[in-house]
Amino acid sequence: MNENRTEQLICIAAIAGAFGVKGEVKIKSFTEVPKACLTYGPLMDESGKIILTPIRSRSVKKFLAVMCKEVTSREQAESLKSTKLYVERSAFPVPDEDEYYYSDLIGLDVVLEDGTPKGKVKAVHDFGGGDLLEIKTPGEKDWYHPFTKEAVPIVDISGGRVVIEIVEPDEVKPSDEEG
């Protein structure tokens, strides 16, 4: 597989299985607006081969039920279960200032404001409380750092780094009433 090619592909969804009996594919979207994953062109596998060309779709709970040119039976749809779906990076608009695609952050060096290295960005997650950078530090357990303007004051994609500020929680002092 061409290494450069995989860097150009962005995973935007995954096939969760079949839906119904007519060959609809059940898709779990990773885009902020779920149906947006169908607007970037044909969906590819990790090698860049087109595997789904959506014809029509509908929302079904947390998923999309999608009719595609390439899938004509429930069995075909079911055989694609767990397949990640990609589109070309060039299909996305340029992000606004202070906005970033998660994929652009992965692999960046993580340093403190004084330049002390702290690791590399391994992934970006949102477990419900806001975005977190998962940071890999050689020889240590991976750790998380909030991805906010205060906690990450500098994102320098062209320079290959993010600058983080580690703020220690204020010392908790017992109140006067606790005697």
131-178 pLDDT, tens per residue? 999 999 999 999 999 999 999 999 999 999 999 998 766 655 555 555
Domains of the chain: 9-90 (2.40.30.60), 102-164 (2.30.30.240)
Measured between alpha carbons, how far is 18 from 65 in angstroms, rounded to an integer? 8
Decide if 18 contacts 59 (C-beta within 8 A).
Answer: no
Measured between alpha carbons, how far is 16 from 80 in angstroms, rounded to an integer? 8
* Other Cβ atoms closer than 10 A to 125: 14
Residue 82 corresponds to which tokens in the numbers above?
């767990």
| Residue-by-residue DSSP string for 130-156 | SEEEEEE-TTS--EEEE-STTT--EEE
72-89 pLDDT, tens per residue? 999 999 999 999 999 998
- Of the pLDDT bands very low, low, confident and very high (cuts 50, 70, 90), residue 2 is very low
